[in-house]
A = this chain, B = another copy of it.
């Protein structure tokens, strides 16, 4: 297993995931090398992240037009561990790895049906103001939801 900079203890990190969202690899998401194109896991991360945030009750407020705050992605990264192919169903696991003042470090794990991990990743989600473009502190309620999301199991 190669060393991943954002993972201290692999087993612990691996076992802390509970929530997942299933996706099935589309034909249009493959490329002429015959496998999943490397730009697509980030689309899966976004879809699974929003499902996770909806699951823990945070997304709804952010999608309201009158709400000043929106979540933006400050950075994103992905490590491709195994090639993934057309038609595979992947479980995209999501967890809030660390909760900050106005941001949250969200981690991802894309697991194939044979249990092998196709790719992993992480990214910082920051709450900003639509008006000023600056970071807005997360409320205590939001932080709690994210903390609990760490241990939240799929419905």
The oligomer's copy count stands at 4
Docked-complex contact A77 and B76, CB < 8 angstroms: yes
Q: A67-88 vs B: 1/0 string, CB under 8 Å?
A: 0001011111111100100100
Docked-complex contact A77 and B74, CB < 8 angstroms: no
Judged by a CB distance under 8 angstroms, whether A47 is at the interface is yes
Docked-complex contact B34 and A38, CB < 8 angstroms: no
Judged by a CB distance under 8 angstroms, whether A50 is at the interface is yes
Which residues of B lie under 8 Å from residue A76 when comparing CB positions? 38, 77-78, 80
Docked-complex contact B70 and A79, CB < 8 angstroms: no
Docked-complex contact B33 and A50, CB < 8 angstroms: no
Docked-complex contact B46 and A27, CB < 8 angstroms: yes
Which residues of B lie under 8 Å from residue A75 when comparing CB positions? 77-80
Docked-complex contact B28 and A46, CB < 8 angstroms: yes
Judged by a CB distance under 8 angstroms, whether A31 is at the interface is yes
Which residues of B lie under 8 Å from residue A27 when comparing CB positions? 31-32, 37, 46-47, 50
